[in-house]
Structure 1
Amino acid sequence: MRQTNPPLDRATIGLATMFLGSAALHLARPQVYEAIVPHALPRKRELVYASGVAEIVCGLGLLHPRTRKVAGLASAVLLVVVLPANVQMSADHAKRAQRKGDTGSKAFFAGTVARLPLQWPLIRTALRASGRLR
């Protein structure tokens, strides 16, 4: 019995589009992302470039039926791997908001915190694209 590839649905197209857009920013403006690489990690520019390339590979892989399963799994892994950068961004903005105390800094910090739980639906979409979730 031949196993079929998961269908290309709106959520998967959205995830692929998000990856490809983010990858373009990672490669065109790496300095923007260097600031959120966890402080303990070395070679921040190289990590930003590597994550941008990984996003291109995952994004394109999600769009093709033959590579969707492996790309879905790789996408879920990538989303978990970059989660510490999102946490770092929130921690840095928490300090900035506390130090500055202005409404703009507090609002930006709140946005970074609100963004963190959004990783989980993205991971679920990636796992659905891999055929691991229904």
Structure 2
Amino acid sequence: MLPWHQYLLGLLFVITGFLHFQKPKIYLKIMPPYIPAHKTMVLLSGILEMILGFMLLNPPTQQIAGWGIMILMLLFLPVHFYMLQEKKASLKLPKWALIVRIPLQFFIMYWAYFYV
């Protein structure tokens, strides 16, 4: 049996990945203009988040998932900086929340590191 925190992280990734399909407009709003094929990238990142979430819940694949999550969080950092810089991408979140999201990415990377 896996530790509860591993189930939690896996479930968070499955849910957030699913939200890319439920609420794609939100994710499209936060895409920096220099990233190509916004709709495709939103859907691919959602699929990847769900796959990594399920892989984290499977002991034989949890190590790959841990590395994948850490890489994905690094790849998402430009989106968080873009949200902080561009009002239209901020989703009307308060500035402090946008700032907190950046170290949160590193916390998630640290959390995922426990499973590699």
What is the TM-score with the length of structure 2 in the denominator?
A: 0.88
Query: Among 14, 18, 32, which residue is 1:20 paired with?
Result: 14
The answer for the alignment partner of 1:123 in structure 2 is: 109
- Relative to structure 1, the CA distance from residue 96 to residue 123 in structure 2 (aligned partners, 3 Å threshold; closer, same or farther) is closer
The answer for the alignment partner of 2:45 in structure 1 is: 51
Aligned residues: 115
CA deviations on 1:101-129 (whole Å, 9 max, x unpaired) are xxxx5x61221111211111100111111
Q: CA deviation at 1:92?
A: 1.5
Distance 2:5 2:110 in 1: 10
Distance 2:56 2:107 in 1: 16
- Relative to structure 1, the CA distance from residue 96 to residue 45 in structure 2 (aligned partners, 3 Å threshold; closer, same or farther) is closer
Largest Rg, 1 or 2: 1
Gaps of 5+ in 2: none
The answer on 1:82 being equivalent to 2:68 is no
AA matched with 2:114: R
The answer for the alignment partner of 2:98 in structure 1 is: 112
What is the TM-score with the length of structure 1 in the denominator?
A: 0.77
Q: CA deviation at 1:17?
A: 1.6
Gaps of 5+ in 1: 1-6, 98-104
AA matched with 2:69: S
- Please give the root-mean-square deviation of Cα atoms over the aligned residues, in Å: 2.0
| Partner-residue secondary structure (3-state), 1:124 | helix
The answer for the alignment partner of 1:102 in structure 2 is: none
The answer for the alignment partner of 1:42 in structure 2 is: 36
